[in-house]
Amino acid sequence: MEKKLCIAVYVFGSYTKYVPYYIYSILKSYPHYYVKIFCMDKLAKREAECLDLIRKNLSTNFMVKENYFPFPQFREQKLGRPLRFLIPYHEFSEFDYVYIGDVDFLIVQESPSLLDGHIEHCKKIKLPYSNQIRPNTKRLTGLHFFKVKEYYQAMNEVIDYYSNNLGEVYSLMKKYRSDDEKFLYKMIEKTIGFGKINDSVYRPHHGFHLGILRINAFESYIKGGYNNPFHRLPPYTLFKKQLLTYYEDPLFKRIININPITEILTLKKKLTFE
């Protein structure tokens, strides 16, 4: 029986513009995966139009839930990132695995696949989740994979507590200076613990992080990404080929025309002239 994976993100503010690209890249790379997008607000009309195109021309394996955790202070202070770790069990109960990612990525197909790589990592570290502790910190990374039933059996109580006390989460985010990775670390520390997580380093990006273009770090990212344990990018020639395939797809071109964003346009130029 095929294991069912859901890739999920929580989005608020201007980051909704990345939603069509994220969904497209996942379902183009892994047609059998499912995508759930949780939004604090409603999508813009142009973003919703792009999703209609994806449904008609690529896949219906996704869902967008709007007005999720509508806590305005999080939006105003850009402190809403920890909410992705508070999504309740019932949202994922039909899946075997969940991967919580960042929406400003273009996912690419890899070998081993995103799912298989994290399942193997869970086995190695003997934990129901796959992540990495940032060196010399008390922070897990924001890219978080877990086995649904085992994970929620241990985490339900703490997730329910914080979900019902969002004011406390808001205060913690101000204390942690919006560091949701520290928040996740504290949640795991109280419940499952860290097992053998330091014995096996595994935390790939599984694609291209568009945020790199906002800090003008494209060259260092692609040159060092293959050996960087926090990125683990595919070899650049393969990576470039997969990304350019997106730009050649008529559907992707239509998404760009309807919902153009700077990073997507810049990436095309970088890939073409690199």
Q: Are 71 and 87 in contact (CB under 8 A)?
A: no
pTM of the model: 0.96
CATH tag for 5-273 (out of 3.90.550, 3.40.30, 3.40.140, 3.40.1350): 3.90.550
For the segment 54-63, the average pLDDT, to the nearest whole number, is 98
Higher pLDDT, residue 114 or 172: 114
User: What mean pLDDT, rounded, does the chain reach?
Assistant: 94
AA identity, residue 43: L
Cα separation of 162 and 158, whole Å? 6
Tell which residue, 57, 81, 63, 62, has the closest CA to residue 71.
81
For the segment 113-123, the average pLDDT, to the nearest whole number, is 98
**Domains of the chain: which residue ranges?**
5-273
Q: What are the φ/ψ torsions at residue 18 (nearest 5 degrees)?
A: -85, -15
Burial track 84-96 (b if 16+ CB lie within 10 A, e otherwise): bbbbeeebbeebb
pLDDT digits (tens, 9 = 90+) for 11-43: 999 999 999 999 999 999 999 999 999 999 999
Q: What are the φ/ψ torsions at residue 217 (nearest 5 degrees)?
A: -120, 25
pLDDT band at 274 (very low <50, low <70, confident <90, very high): low
Any bridge partners for residue 140, and if so which? Answer: 133
- The radius of gyration of the chain's CA atoms, rounded to the nearest angstrom, is 18
